[in-house]
């Protein structure tokens, strides 16, 4: 299977998105304590003004700012202190010209007041009098009603991932429950006669099942409930039985491929027979990741991933994660990358999307991206990497000293 | 409390690290399925070579590379096919000069072979004969024994966070269980007479408890098991009772502060009395985040955070998260930031560390960082931000068009 017989990554993504259009999983309400990192199922709109009243941001004296204009240390403005606002209590004072009330940080501004004079800009000759030593501007040391979040403001967009600061905004507006997308159930089936469980010591050419663990972690991170279905042999009937069961319990199925041509043929045949239609693609012009298979079995997207760990993880990031986002109705949002200077030429092939692993090294004021060479069968090359650089299909390679954009695979 | 009475962020971090030295939480073994994002409690060293045998990376013919030297389409090299290696099975063939064996991708190389000829570079005139049309270099299409991970190689360093690619490497080397640090138990106590539960409609100057939810999400993300202790009033006895209980059940306690001076005084007094020593600091030259309190009660670090949500979240990121990392023995690793061009001058005060919220906007080939102005009481200014820019204490501000480093608070 040469690259020219494969479809491009762009075409593959388009076929995938078409197949998944309208297949967003159901929503469920969760408590605010459980909403972190979930995907909003609706626009969440504030039903009230925040703050619901104008309040002071300092300890001081609420005044009508106009009464302070012209005040200075030499010529202070004189006020009558007519009341005291206590924290957490409403005030029914209506401030008249020349009047002030003491107010704590967070206290509710009385009607008529539009500024708060800080303690250090005032003197209090007696309990009922106040000398203001500095003019206060309208709105000074005050948060106005609705200044933080106004009634009708959209706090959270449908499809947005909920972060700590969003949790804060939801709490502020009184949302105890939040409608989020149910976590997609994902089945991972490993195939390959050479595979043995992690607990086993491989003998006679066997290797341990790496991919189902690494892919499970990637898909859990993407917001899925992942179930590993264990290892099935490279036999058509066994794979068909496992996939039949998996599609009943899952929103998405990943077959972590045997590397052999036979295993791939079984995957294609199972998808065709159970799905009652041809696979949507079989082979992408992507390195690593060429032997990727995708088809639908009823409503369930089924992926056949390459057997080599680096290829499997690359395709999971490029193809399976976007499918999960589509199921979640997740807005992909901005993808932030780290600019870095490439340390050597990297050849590619026009018409093929290449993904190279790089180590990031900070040098002076910039990062240098050192490509990690090595076969896609070597998990260590992935474990050593800090990020991935994409060489798009329309480029024949990248030059040493060129600035490239690095997609982090470590935590920022 | 003016900034010059406060200690610097750097001093605060130093006091914190000194107080937490040697207080790493215990380790616990978890299964590989649960190890994702946890912190390794030990160096994990491979006990074996990976792969444990030299194997083919393609479907083809294992040969002695020397026998192919000089081969071309015009002058092919002739081989006897003496055997077939099946996937997942050992081979006991000892390859002699002029001999080849068929081998699948992943198949075990027979003794004597050092390269594999791809199907497309060979012709097979009959079942027992092979014509090789292109010379193969030693090691071509082969992964050598131990080439991926060699016996004795450190797969994971103590204190390293476990990512999907590390899960892959652990699976490859047969680690079913991984020793990780126990998740620290964190208590969050909200104080403030003005606070009401999220479920309540605030009346009379009340506000909802934002901070305990937002901080809980931040600390869960940092790897903690968080328990919110609810709201206590600004009364010394009530706070003392809540803190007494929390320190028995927690590795770290956060008191999300009432904004009033009285509430801060109570926090200081509770730490002093229960801890039987003075607080370690009370006030940092940080904006927002000045009224931050830290002390130890026995072995338990206790933080009093500012009441304003943006200040509380900023201090949580700058001070509490590093404390959690210290408890986890976590290597802080690289902090990756996004370079961006600042869109306006931002004044600061020398001697004070400022943290400003910014929105990132991609323009041409670079990001522009637009400061979000607004008081630290406004949670919306945090919810709108994509990242935080640090103005260090030795700078008086940042200039418009300057390149700044943005710490993301969204997902990359």
Is A110 near chain B, with CB under 8 Å?
A: no
Residue A259: the pLDDT is 55
Residues B170 and B37 in one domain: yes
Secondary structure of chain A as H, E, C letters: CCHHHCECHHHHHHHHHHHHCCCCCCEEEEEHHHCCCCEECCCEECCCCECCCCEECCCEEEECHHHHCCCCCCCCEEEEEEEECCCCCCCCCECCCCEEEEECCCCECCECCCEEEEHHHEECCCCCEEEECCCCCCCCCEECCCCCECCCCEEECCCCECCHHHHHHHHHCCCCEEEEECCCEEEEEEECCCEECCCCCCCCCCEECCHHHHHHHHHHHCCCEEEEEEEECCCHHHHHHHHHHHHHHCCEEEEECCCCHHHHHHHHHHHHHHHCCCCCEECECEECCCCCEEEEECCEEEEEECCCHHHHHHHHHHHHHHHHHHHHCCCCCCCCCEEEEECCCEECCCCCEEEEEEEEEEECCEEEEEECCCCCCCHHHHHCCCEEEEECCCCCEECCCCEEEEEECCCC
Q: Coil, helix or strand for B21? A: coil
State whether residue B218 sits within 8 Å of chain A by CB.
yes
User: pLDDT of chain B along its 412 residues, tens only?
Assistant: 455 579 999 999 999 999 999 999 999 999 999 999 999 999 999 999 999 889 898 899 999 999 999 999 999 999 999 999 987 788 889 999 999 999 988 889 999 999 999 999 999 999 999 999 999 999 999 999 999 999 999 999 999 999 999 999 999 999 999 999 999 999 999 998 889 999 999 887 788 999 999 999 999 999 999 999 999 988 999 999 999 999 999 999 999 976 566 778 899 999 999 999 999 999 999 999 999 999 999 999 999 999 889 999 999 999 999 999 999 999 977 789 999 999 999 999 999 999 999 999 999 889 999 999 888 889 999 999 999 999 999 999 999 999 999 999 988 7
CATH number where A65 lies: 2.170.190.11
Instruction: Check CB contact of B166 with chain A, cutoff 8 Å.
Output: yes
**What is the CATH classification number for the domain harbouring B172?**
3.90.105.10
The answer to whether residues A189 and A168 belong to one domain is: no
Q: What is B266-299 written as a DSSP string?
A: HHHHHHHHHHTS--SEE-BSEES--S-EEEEETT
Query: Is A138 part of a structural domain of the chain?
Result: yes
A120 and A241, same structural domain?
A: no
A169 shares its domain with A196:
no
| CA torsion, ordered A202, A207, A208, A209, to nearest 10 deg | -150
CATH of the domain at B253: 3.40.980.10
Residue A318 and residue A187 share a domain: yes
* Integer Cα distance of A300 and A23 in angstroms: 9
Cβ–Cβ gap B379/A214 under 8 Å: no
Whether residues A33 and B336 touch (CB distance < 8 A) is answered with: no
| C-alpha pair distances (Å), A116 with each of A55, A189, B267 | 9, 65, 26
B118 in reach of chain A (CB within 8 A): no
Domain boundary pick from A328, A354, A384: A328
Residue from A336, A388, A408, A410 whose CB has the most chain B CBs within 10 Å, to mutate: A336
Contact B105, B56 (CB under 8 A): yes
Question: Do residues B50 and A202 make contact, with C-beta atoms less than 8 angstroms apart?
Answer: no
Instruction: Give the end of a domain, one of A284, A303, A328.
Output: A328
Confirm whether A353 is domain-assigned.
yes
**Which of B25, B8, B51 is CA-nearest to residue B250?**
B25
Name the domain count of chain A.
4
Which CATH number characterizes residue B372's domain?
A: 2.40.340.10
A206 and A313 co-located in one domain:
yes
- Domain range holding A258? 3-25+183-328
Nearest CA in chain A to B201: A174
Of B32, B89, B375, the CB nearest to A204: B89
Asked if residue A149 belongs to a domain, the reply is no
How do residues B354-375 score in pLDDT, each as one tens digit? 999 999 999 988 999 999 988 8
Which residues of B are less than 8 Å from A208 in CB distance?
171-174
Q: Encode pLDDT of A173-185 as tens digits.
A: 999 999 999 999 9
Same domain, A308 and A219: yes
Q: How far apart are the first and last CA of chain A?
A: 38
Tell me which residue of B225, B206, B197, B189 sits closest to B324, measured CA to CA.
B225
Instruction: Please give the residue of chain A at the shortest CA–CA distance from B336.
Output: A412
Q: Determine contact: B409 vs chain A, CB below 8 A.
A: yes
Question: Residue A201: its chain B contacts at CB < 8 A?
Answer: 174
**Which region, left, alpha or beta, applies to residue A43 given φ > 0 means left and ψ of -120 to 50 means alpha?**
beta
Q: Are B47 and B316 contacting, i.e. CB atoms less than 8 angstroms apart?
A: no
Burial class (CB in 10 A: 0-12, 13-18, 19+), A73: exposed
- CA A310 to chain B, closest CA, distance in angstroms equals 9
Q: Is residue A148 part of a domain?
A: no
On whether residue B396 sits in a domain, the answer given is yes
Question: Residue A152 domain-assigned?
Answer: no
Question: Which of B105, B320, B357 has the most A C-beta neighbours within 10 Å, making it the best mutation to test the interface with A?
Answer: B105
Instruction: Please indicate, yes or no, whether residues A241 and A292 belong to a single structural domain of this protein.
Output: yes
**A164 to chain B: which residues are within 8 Å by CB?**
214-215, 217-218, 221, 313, 409
- Do residues B127 and B193 share a domain? no
Residue A285 located in a structural domain: yes
* CA distances from residue B365 to A363, A364, B28, B407 in whole angstroms, order as listed: 22, 21, 46, 19
**Same domain? A400 vs A370:** yes
* DSSP structure string for B197-259: -TTSPP-TT-EE--HHHHHHHHHHHTT-EEEEEEEE-S-HHHHHHHHHHHHHH-SEEEEE--S
Q: Is residue B333 part of a domain?
A: no
Cβ distance of A57 and B164 shorter than 8 Å: no
Of A274, A294, A328, the residue that ends a domain is A328
Element at B63 (helix H, strand E) = strand B60-63
Q: Helix (H, G, I), strand (E, B), or coil: what is residue B303?
A: strand
**8-state DSSP, B94:** B
Q: Do B204 and A88 touch (CB under 8 A)?
A: yes
ipTM for the predicted complex: 0.93
Residues A37 and A176 in one domain: yes
- Please check whether residues B45 and B168 belong to one and the same domain: yes
């Amino acid at each position: 299977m040469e690259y020219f017989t494969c479809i491009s990554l762009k075409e593959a993504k388009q076929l995938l998105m078409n197949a998944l259009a309208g297949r967003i999983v159901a929503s469920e309400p969760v408590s605010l304590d459980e909403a972190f990192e979930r995907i909003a199922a609706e626009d969440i709109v504030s039903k009230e003004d925040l703050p619901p009243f104008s309040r002071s941001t300092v300890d001081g004296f609420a005044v009508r700012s106009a009464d302070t204009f012209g005040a200075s240390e030499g010529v202070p403005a004189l006020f009558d202190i007519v009341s005291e606002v206590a924290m957490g209590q409403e005030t029914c004072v209506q401030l008249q010209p020349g009047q002030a009330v003491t107010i704590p940080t967070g206290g509710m501004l009385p009607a008529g007041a539009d500024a708060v004079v800080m303690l250090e800009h005032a003197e209090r000759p007696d309990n009922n009098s106040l000398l203001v030593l500095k003019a206060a501007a309208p709105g000074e040391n005050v948060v106005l009603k609705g200044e933080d979040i106004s009634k009708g403001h959209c706090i959270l967009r449908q499809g947005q991932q909920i972060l700590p600061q969003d949790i804060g905004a939801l709490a502020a507006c009184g949302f105890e429950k939040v409608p989020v997308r149910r976590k997609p159930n994902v089945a991972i089936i490993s195939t390959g006669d050479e595979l043995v469980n992690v607990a086993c010591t491989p003998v006679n050419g066997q290797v341990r099942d790496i991919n189902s663990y690494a892919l499970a972690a990637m898909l859990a991170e993407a917001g899925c409930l992942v179930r590993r279905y264990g290892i099935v042999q490279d036999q058509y009937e066994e794979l068909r039985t496992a996939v039949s069961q998996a599609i009943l319990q899952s929103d998405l199925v990943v077959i972590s491929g045997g590397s052999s041509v036979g295993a791939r043929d079984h995957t294609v045949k199972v998808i065709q027979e159970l799905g009652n239609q041809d696979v949507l693609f079989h082979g992408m012009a992507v390195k690593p990741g060429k032997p990727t298979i995708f088809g639908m079995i009823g409503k369930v997207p089924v992926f056949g991933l390459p057997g080599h760990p680096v290829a499997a993880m690359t395709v999971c990031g490029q193809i399976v994660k976007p499918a999960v986002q589509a199921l979640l109705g997740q807005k992909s949002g901005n993808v932030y990358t780290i600019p870095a200077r490439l340390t050597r030429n990297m050849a590619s092939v026009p018409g093929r999307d290449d993904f190279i692993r790089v180590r990031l090294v900070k040098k002076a004021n910039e990062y240098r991206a050192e490509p990690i060479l090595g076969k896609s069968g070597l998990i260590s090359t992935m474990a050593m990497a800090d990020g991935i650089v994409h060489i798009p299909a329309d480029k024949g390679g990248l030059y040493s000293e060129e600035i490239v954009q690095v997609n982090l695979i470590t935590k920022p």
